[in-house]
């Protein structure tokens, strides 16, 4: 089809629009339709391919996998890069880098002050301790900040989505203490992989890609009068550390991990052994 014919159809479609509705939605949707018409034209997409894509999207919606696809195609990371750029333009810089939320946060985790234990269900693997301090952009500790933490178990599965785990297993909200500090005890997570045979998996396979993330722990950090930080840390040494299907690993988000084997030091942390 020639460009004039495509332009004429687009004009005909837009002429059906009235003054009602949203100017923003009109602009964005019309742009997406234009770009998709052009892709179909340029790639000579066949009707069977188009309807196969429509059916794929219907199925992905039924599976609740749009969030996962958004992560896997790099859209979620792209939005982060745009937020970084917008902040830089406002002269905002420094601090812990942001990275993606992902589709697996659940609100309402039990709240504690200062410290928490995240693992409720028995879980094999290493005992994990993490501690940190929430500070404002001037470096001043923030007492009473909320640190929401969530991560996967030894199978890379998240409570709520994995109904074999008890509610809020490996999910907590921790208020920082008077010195802005928080700490928690948990078990080492294993990297998540997209559900085998699911919509995201099908797409990634066709792209010749894997659907695995390195082991990671998610955080929301919020405090009165402060911008909310959405971030993660990665566990150093994971083979997927720099090969995340969701592109979320960033330098500054791979803290040092220390293996503690000294019996006295372990007892001090209230454990008998680093693994059970
Ligand atoms: C996850 O655990 C996750 O963090 C992201 C971004 C996507 C899928 C699963
Ligand atoms: Fe995750």
Q: What is the pLDDT of residue 272?
A: 81
Report pLDDT for 88. Answer: 96
Could you read off the pLDDT of 117-173 as tens digits, one per residue? 999 999 999 999 999 999 999 999 999 999 999 999 999 999 999 999 999 999 999
> What's the pLDDT at 117?
97
pLDDT band at 2 (very low <50, low <70, confident <90, very high): very high
For ligand 1, pick from 65, 77, 80, 103 the residue to mutate: most ligand atoms within 8 Å of CB.
Answer: 103
pLDDT given at position 276: 61
The pair phi, psi for residue 149, each rounded to 5°, is -120, 135
Rounded distance from Cα 242 to ligand 1 centre (Å): 15
- Whether 275 has a pLDDT exceeding 80, the answer reads no
Superfamily of domain 75-268: Aromatic compound dioxygenase (2.60.130.10)
Q: Do strands 171-175 and 111-113 pair parallel, antiparallel, or not at all (unpaired)?
A: parallel
pTM, 2 dp: 0.95
CA 25 from chain centre, in angstroms, equals 26
Taking only the tens place, the pLDDT of each residue in 64-119 is 999 999 999 999 999 999 999 999 999 999 999 999 999 999 999 999 999 999 99
What is the pLDDT, as a whole number, of residue 14?
97
The pLDDT of residue 273 is above 90: no
137-142 CB contacts, 8 Å cutoff, 24+ apart: 137/92, 137/94, 137/95, 141/176, 141/179, 141/180, 141/181, 142/176, 142/180, 142/223, 142/226
Give residue 269's pLDDT: 86
Interacting residues of 62 by C-beta distance below 8 A, sequence separation 6+: none
Residue 5 CB burial class (10 angstroms; 0-12, 13-18, ≥19): exposed
Domain ranges across the chain: 3-45, 75-268
Distance CA 237, CA 214 (A): 9
Q: How confident is the model at residue 213 (pLDDT cuts 50, 70, 90)?
A: very high
Model pLDDT for residues 215-267, shown as the tens digit of each residue: 999 999 999 999 999 999 999 999 999 999 999 999 999 999 999 988 898 89
Q: What's the confidence (pLDDT) of residue 89?
A: 97
Residues in the chain, total: 276
ipTM over 0.95: yes
pLDDT band, very low/low/confident/very high, at 35 (cuts 50, 70, 90): very high
Query: Under the phi-then-psi rule, with left for phi > 0, alpha for psi from -120 to 50, and beta for the rest, what region is 156?
Result: left
Mean pLDDT, the chain, whole residue set: 97
Pocket of ligand 1 (CB under 6 A): 68, 71, 100, 102-104, 192, 213, 246, 248
- Around Cβ 79, how many Cβ atoms within 10 Å? 14
* pLDDT of 274: 77
Is the model's pLDDT at 186 over the cut of 90? Answer: yes
76 CA: nearest ligand 1 atom:
6
CA distance 145 to 149: 13
% of the chain surpassing 70 pLDDT: 100
Q: How confident is the model at residue 270 (pLDDT cuts 50, 70, 90)?
A: confident
At 141, give phi and psi (nearest 5°).
-60, 145
Which atom belonging to ligand 1 lies closest to the Cα atom of 156? 2
Q: How far is CA 102 from CA 41, 64, 70, 77, 226, in A?
A: 33, 13, 9, 10, 22
Q: Which protein residue's CA is at the shortest distance from atom 5 of ligand 1?
A: 102
195, pLDDT greater than 90 = yes
Question: What is the C-alpha to C-alpha distance for residues 167 and 31, in angstroms, rounded to an integer?
Answer: 43
């Amino acid at each position: 089809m020639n460009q004039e014919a495509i332009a004429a159809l687009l004009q005909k479609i837009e002429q059906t629009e009235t003054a009602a509705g949203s100017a923003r939605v009109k602009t964005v949707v019309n742009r997406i339709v234009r770009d998709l018409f052009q892709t179909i034209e340029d790639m000579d997409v066949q009707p069977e391919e188009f309807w196969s894509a429509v059916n794929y999207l219907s199925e992905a919606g039924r599976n609740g996998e749009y969030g996962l696809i958004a992560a896997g195609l790099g859209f979620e990371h792209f939005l982060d890069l745009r937020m970084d750029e917008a902040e830089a333009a406002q002269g905002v810089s420094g601090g812990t880098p942001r990275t993606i939320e992902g589709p697996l946060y659940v609100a309402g985790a039990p709240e504690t002050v200062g410290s928490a234990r995240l693992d409720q269900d028995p879980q094999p693997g290493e005992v994990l301790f993490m501690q940190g301090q929430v500070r404002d952009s001037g470096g001043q500790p923030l007492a009473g900040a909320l640190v929401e933490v969530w991560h996967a178990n030894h199978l890379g599965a998240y409570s709520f989505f994995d109904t074999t785990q008890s509610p809020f297993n490996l999910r907590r909200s921790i208020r920082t203490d008077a010195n802005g500090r928080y700490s928690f005890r948990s078990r080492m997570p294993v990297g998540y992989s997209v559900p085998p045979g699911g919509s995201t998996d099908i797409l990634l396979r066709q792209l010749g890609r894997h659907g695995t993330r390195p082991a990671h722990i998610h955080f929301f950090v919020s405090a009165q009068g402060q911008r909310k930080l959405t971030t993660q840390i990665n566990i150093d040494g994971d083979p997927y550390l720099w090969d995340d299907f969701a592109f979320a690993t960033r330098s500054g988000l791979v803290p040092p991990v220390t293996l503690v084997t000294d019996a006295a030091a372990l007892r001090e942390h209230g454990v008998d052994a680093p693994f059970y």
